[in-house]
Amino acid sequence: MFSWIKTITWDKIIGTYDVEPKRARSKKGRYKADDKSTKDINEAWVGGKAPKKKKKKTKKKKNRR
């Protein structure tokens, strides 16, 4: 019934909750770029994986008569 409460508190205790993706920064605080020579790791993001891109909504065109 209250499974969402259990998952929130249990994940915080264990430390298995999902962390939002963050951009990696250099020592100067600037964003890091991805190294294209490494196919499996994305250095531009903390954790090595970029977030999935969201689909854009398409607007419906209005017909003018």
For the chain, 65 residues long, the average pLDDT of each consecutive 10-residue run is 66 63 90 89 84 83 77
Question: Quick check: is 35 in a domain?
Answer: yes
Question: Quick check: is 41 in a domain?
Answer: yes
Listing DSSP states for 15-42 in one string gives T-SPPPP-B-B-TTSPBPPP-TT-SS--
Question: Quick check: is 60 in a domain?
Answer: no
Q: Which pLDDT does position 28 carry in this prediction? A: 94
Question: Quick check: is 30 in a domain?
Answer: yes
45 SS3 class: strand
Question: Quick check: is 34 in a domain?
Answer: yes
The position carrying tokens 């250095």 is 43
Question: Quick check: is 43 in a domain?
Answer: yes
pTM: 0.49
The domain total for the chain is: 1
Question: Quick check: is 45 in a domain?
Answer: yes
- Residue 19 structure tokens: 């962390």
Tell me the per-residue pLDDT of 23-33, one tens digit each, with 9 for 90 and over.
899 999 999 99
